[in-house]
Every structure is written in structure tokens, then in C-alpha cells.
């Protein structure tokens, strides 16, 4: 199994930045499709950024140009750099992993087997 632990959430003013981290154990990022998802009360968990096992990165239109997904050299930690945050970005953020790509980007939450506990991001206006 893959274990995931997120960190880095918090409260930030509109226009600010945060970087989320997702520490993975049980697999390296070279062997799994990874996704960052976010969820607000009453809504489905939505994908915002993905990293395939080969390193390809995909972004939802709502965050393109503002969020950047990256990894450490050891390929055990995934990051989500979030810039130009606005109140609509307020949500619980989760990282997720699944065995197998083809494709990775754009997959929905039910396609992912492994999940972290989530980290809250709150953007004040």
C-alpha cells in the first residue's frame, strides 16, 4: 500500500501563496499516478493537478498558470505550489495515488485508491 501525508495548509490572504507537501511511502512517484484534489462542503472532490509516473503534469483550467506541481529529487514528496490564491481556492486539499497511468491527468477521485488525510487551505478576501 501507499501511505500519503499532506502538510502545508493554512490561512492566507487573497493574492498570497502556499506550498502543500505530500510525503509518500510504500512507493516512489516514479511508479504511481499522483493527483492533488480539493473539496468544499457539499461538493465532489475535484482534481486540480496531476503528475504521471513519467513526470507529465496536468492542471485543471481553474488553476492553470497559478498552481505548479513538482517533486523532490528522491521522488518521495510531491508539492503543490499555489500562487495568486483567491477565496474560491478555499477547500480541503488532498493528495492521492493510484497504480497505473494511461491516462493520469484528468482522472476522477474514485479512480484513486490511496489518499492522504487532507490539509485545509483558507483564503481570506
User: What order of strands is seen across the sheet that includes strand 3-7?
Assistant: 3-7, 18-25, 77-82, 67-71
Write out pLDDT tens, residues 55-109: 999 999 999 999 999 999 999 999 999 999 999 999 999 999 999 888 999 999 9
pLDDT band at 121 (very low <50, low <70, confident <90, very high): very high
Write out pLDDT tens, residues 21-68: 999 999 999 999 999 999 999 999 999 999 999 999 999 999 999 999
Q: Is the pLDDT of residue 123 over 90?
A: yes
β pairing state of 18-25 and 77-82: antiparallel
Amino acid at each position: 500500500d501507499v501511505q500519503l501525508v499532506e502538510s502545508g495548509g493554512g490561512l492566507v490572504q487573497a493574492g498570497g501563496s502556499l506550498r502543500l507537501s505530500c510525503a509518500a511511502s510504500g512507493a516512489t512517484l516514479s511508479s504511481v499516478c499522483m493527483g492533488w484534489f480539493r473539496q468544499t462542503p457539499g461538493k465532489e472532490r475535484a482534481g486540480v493537478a496531476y503528475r504521471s509516473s513519467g513526470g507529465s503534469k496536468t492542471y485543471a483550467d481553474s488553476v492553470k498558470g497559478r498552481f505548479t506541481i513538482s517533486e523532490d529529487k528522491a521522488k518521495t514528496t510531491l508539492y503543490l505550489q499555489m500562487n495568486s490564491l483567491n477565496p474560491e481556492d478555499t477547500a480541503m486539499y488532498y493528495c492521492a495515488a493510484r497504480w497505473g497511468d494511461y491516462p493520469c491527468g484528468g482522472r476522477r477521485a474514485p479512480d484513486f485508491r490511496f489518499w492522504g488525510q487532507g490539509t485545509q487551505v483558507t483564503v481570506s478576501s
